[in-house]
Chains A and B, each alone.
Chain A
Amino acid sequence: MSTLRPILLVEDSPKDIELTLEALAKCQLANDIHVARDGVEALDYLYARGSHQGRNSGEPAVVLLDLKLPRVDGLEVLEAIKRDPALMQIPVVMLTSSREEKDLVQSYKLGVNAFVVKPVGFSAFLEAIQDIGVFWAILNEPPPHRLSGAGSNDL
């Protein structure tokens, strides 16, 4: 098992998945990346239920969450994570096309850790993903009480 916890990328557009994975690859992160295609899948993954029953990869280091998703949208996933004491410590980064202020305001109200508007230029996107990756997946220490839980052998 990797010493690094995985990154959960929640994104419905295959092109965005591909480009984001390209960008993350350029960051040379060692973390596993799990892709969920909508809000339901993302929550199933987080709660290790449904098709993720019995998953043993620990809590993700960071959730990269698109705002507009089929079935359950990004804000609802964010709300579910931040409302649940078992999940609320997981950092969530909103990664979205939207420049809408109300989305940003709503995300921060719900307790998002960062909000990134995907730039049109790929190099700018690359920079953004790199910053996120380095900060949240590598530098960000998991909160102490999580250590006694499922991921105790991460140390």
Chain B
Amino acid sequence: MNDLRPDLTTCDREPIRIPGSIQPHGVLFVLSAGRTVEAISANAAALTGRSAGEALGLSLEALVPDLDPELLDALTGPLPVDRTQPLGSLRRGAVRYDAMAHAVGPHVVLELEEVPPGQADSRQIQALIGGVVTHLQSVRTVAEGLQAVARTVRELSGFDRVMIYRFDASWTGTVIAEDRNDALPSYLELRFPASDIPQQARDLYRLNRVRQIPDASYSPVPIATRLGGPIDLGFSALRSVSPVHVEYMNNMGTQASMSVSILIEGELWGLISCHNKLAKRVPPEARSACDLVAQILSMRIASEAVHGDAAERVAKQGALTRLLAAMAASPNYAAGLATLPDALLALTGAEGAAISHEGRVTLIGRTPDVASVRAIIGWLQGDGDQGVFATASLPAVMPAAADFADAASGLLALSLSQVRSTHVLWFRSEVIHTVSWGGDPRKQFEAIGPDTRISPRKSFEAWRETVRRTSRPWSPAEVDAADNLRRAIVEILLKRAEEMASLTEDLQRSNRELEAFSYSISHDLRAPFRHIVGYAELLSERYGEQFDEKARHFLHNITESAHTAGKLVDDLLHFSQLGRVQVHPVRVDMNKLMSEVIRSLAFETRDREIEWHISDLPPATGDAGLIRQVLFNLVSNAVKYTRGRTPALILVSGRVAETPGGRETAYTVSDNGIGFDMAYVDKLFQVFQRLNRSEDFEGTGIGLALVRRIVERHGGRTEAIGEIGRGATFTFALPERAAERI
């Protein structure tokens, strides 16, 4: 079954460059070397007095006598292939022709265009161009200058209506400026669908900047040719246009048209589109002047784009630099980003942002809720989740996003770390706006008759459409800024990983060195102390009888000092080994541990009057041996520093408490001993810090440091409260579940 619906791309396939005919306002010759006529338009007969058939094969001079020798010379000289070159004018009777030629392969296309009566005033043309140049230089933005450009082109060409028409990324065109009289309606701000100017027409407009149709009701003039193939008229001024286009013009109510391309960096940015209600011919010099105006406008647009872009990029670079500094100053880059919400939003010109890092979502500005943000991230991940993603209409690609289209119609998303699942999302809210189309864009073509030849729409009545669930689009500079942030973060991550690797290596090396050092101390430093004690004791044993009291006192001091030194080494080693030893957390019966500790202090407490107040202690979770050490150190300290108190009071209690960090079990050892000055509380738990003279209370100054180290290795905390002469209270708290730090 035949599908009778017109295909919107039908126009795209129409061979517009080789129509095989021209418009009737001039004659066309195709010449080979030696100026032999290979093809000729049928209307040349009026000029040459011979039929097209007779003309083929003759030389141009034979066919058109009295031609200017300069023109003939120019025809044999090099001619441009990408534009047609004016070659002066000639007169035949009352008709003046402007000659122009260009090369197509081995041939020359010579066109003689009839010049309408009435002389173009070249001084006026110059004045008009000068005026528009000055104006374009004086305006702050191109937008302010567009109307003047349209007016100038209208004055140069004399059309009823001149529009400046701009394409968007999808080739939809919008009329952004217009100058007109009352002969034709205003099309200002109307949109025209991409299919109005099909692909191959746009391609041709890019190459050949100016074309005109002086009379849409013209009858095409066929070209007689003795060449084998079709003739490419892409650069011809007289080229006959598509019948669809002529119909389109008729439907618009315009008989004459001209369009001039506005090219930026070789790409079609827009058109200066001119229409006349009645037939109208624009002489070549006026067309050239319009082209010049279009080119001046192009340059002004390009320079503004470059400058505007540069200014925007500089601003974004500033935001990026601040964000980088914040990320560098923060241990985690995602947290760093969140510290500068303004810079983060400024970077992409967003109204809201979300940072998702390892499952945690931080919201900034106007955003959907956390659950919706997670849904978007899930959708991104399902969609491949790579690099940068930008859309001005998220609901169009993610239907579930319709629910939060108000805050997030526009989405710009960065996927940063696949492993740790980090995303930065920027949002733009919905902008509901009305678009006026030049006719209903859904009815662009109407099939006419049973042949499926298509016909352009008949109505150009403004047709209004409300666009929803769409945000302001993300500009290339904004998308680039997001991508720059992504690159910078990836670099930071790589650099951090390298730093971590090198730090780990350093740590491992210094750990190995420390281990070797303490190993060596444990062997070599202990031995001399052992020897001193050994020999001193042997001496006292064998020869003690012969010594006097003083000598025995000296010997005793030698032994005691060496003993102390040996114990110091042992304690220190013990302390340093704690950093390396494995902790094995188990359930510890603290009541049992407490009785063991008291029992092991039997020697120290043998002649003392001590009142023990020991509550029922809740069990702890930790390494039994190490927890015993903590309890022992605290209780033996209490025993030691209550020396001289009669009775000495020692209270031991424990309780389970809820803290913001979870459940913990805290144990307290209090005494009525000598206490300490709270001013030195920070020194209490440091290695070798003693708050008392060593002759008053023996010890190496390691006990409390060991307590703190053990408790911290369990993820717990220690604290001390004291008052000189009034006793001290030490507390250590262990987390309910021994932390993963162990």
Contacts and interface: CB of A to CB of B under 8 A. Distances in A.
Interface residues of A, number: 20
A99 B574 CA distance: 9
Contacts of A131: none
B527 A99 contact: no
A101 B533 contact: no
B72 interface: no
B567 A120 contact: yes
Contacts of B522: 97-100
B571 to A, nearest CB: 11
A118 B523 CA distance: 10
Contact of B534 (A68, A96, A97, A125): A125
Contacts of B577: 101
Q: Is the interface of B mostly helix, strand, loop or mixed?
A: helix
A122 B534 contact: yes
A98 B519 contact: yes
A19 B531 contact: yes
B20 interface: no
A81 to B, nearest CB: 21
Interface in B544-578: 562-563, 566-567, 570, 573-574, 577
A15 interface: yes
Contacts of B530: 16, 19, 97, 118-120, 122, 125
Contacts of B519: 98, 100
A13 B527 CA distance: 9
B187 interface: no
Contacts of A97: 522-524, 526-527, 530
B445 interface: no
A47 to B, nearest CB: 27
B527 A16 contact: yes
B526 A122 contact: no
A123 interface: yes
B533 A22 contact: no
A67 B527 CA distance: 13
B514 to A, nearest CB: 13
A145 B536 CA distance: 45
A101 to B, nearest CB: 7
Max chain B Cβ within 10 angstroms of own Cβ: one of A15, A16, A99, A118? A99
A67 B529 contact: no
A98 B534 contact: no
B534 A19 contact: yes
Contacts of A121: 533, 537, 563, 566
A97 B566 CA distance: 11
B526 A120 contact: yes
Max chain B Cβ within 10 angstroms of own Cβ: one of A16, A97, A120, A123? A120
A19 to B, nearest CB: 4
Interface in A86-125: 96-101, 118-123, 125
Contacts of B533: 120-122
Q: Is the interface of A mostly helix, strand, loop or mixed?
A: loop
Nearest to B528: A15
A22 B534 CA distance: 10
Interface in B504-546: 519, 522-524, 526-527, 529-531, 533-538
B567 A122 contact: no
Contact of B538 (A96, A120, A122): A122
Contacts of A22: 534, 538
A28 to B, nearest CB: 16
B397 interface: no
Contacts of B529: 120
B537 to A, nearest CB: 4
A98 B577 CA distance: 13
B426 to A, nearest CB: 55
A113 to B, nearest CB: 21
Interface string B575-597: 00100010000000000000000
Max chain A Cβ within 10 angstroms of own Cβ: one of B519, B523, B531, B534? B534
Contacts of B570: 99, 120
Contacts of A120: 526, 529-530, 533, 562-563, 566-567, 570
A68 to B, nearest CB: 5
Contacts of B527: 13, 15-16, 97, 118
Interface string A9-30: 0000101100100100000000
Given A99-B570, A101-B577, A101-B581, A122 B537 contact: yes
Contact of A98 (B523, B538, B562, B563): B523
A16 B537 CA distance: 14
Max chain A Cβ within 10 angstroms of own Cβ: one of B523, B529, B566, B581? B523
A123 B515 CA distance: 30
Contacts of B566: 120-121
B570 to A, nearest CB: 7
Contacts of B573: 99
Nearest to A15: B531
Contacts of A125: 530, 534
A16 B530 CA distance: 9
B150 to A, nearest CB: 90
A121 B533 CA distance: 6
Contact of B523 (A67, A119, A123): A67
Interface string B351-375: 0000000000000000000000000
A15 to B, nearest CB: 5
Given A99-B573, A118-B530, A123 B562 contact: no
A63 to B, nearest CB: 19
Nearest to B530: A120
A97 B573 CA distance: 12
A95 to B, nearest CB: 12
Nearest to B518: A100
A39 to B, nearest CB: 15
Contacts of A100: 519, 522
Contacts of B562: 120
Given A16-B531, A100-B522, A120-B530, 10 more contacts: A15-B531, A15-B534, A19-B530, A19-B531, A22-B538, A97-B530, A101-B577, A118-B526, A118-B527, A122-B537
8 contacts: A13-B531, A15-B535, A22-B534, A97-B523, A99-B573, A120-B533, A120-B566, A122-B536
Name the 3 nearest CB pairs between A and B, nearest first: A120-B566, A122-B537, A122-B534
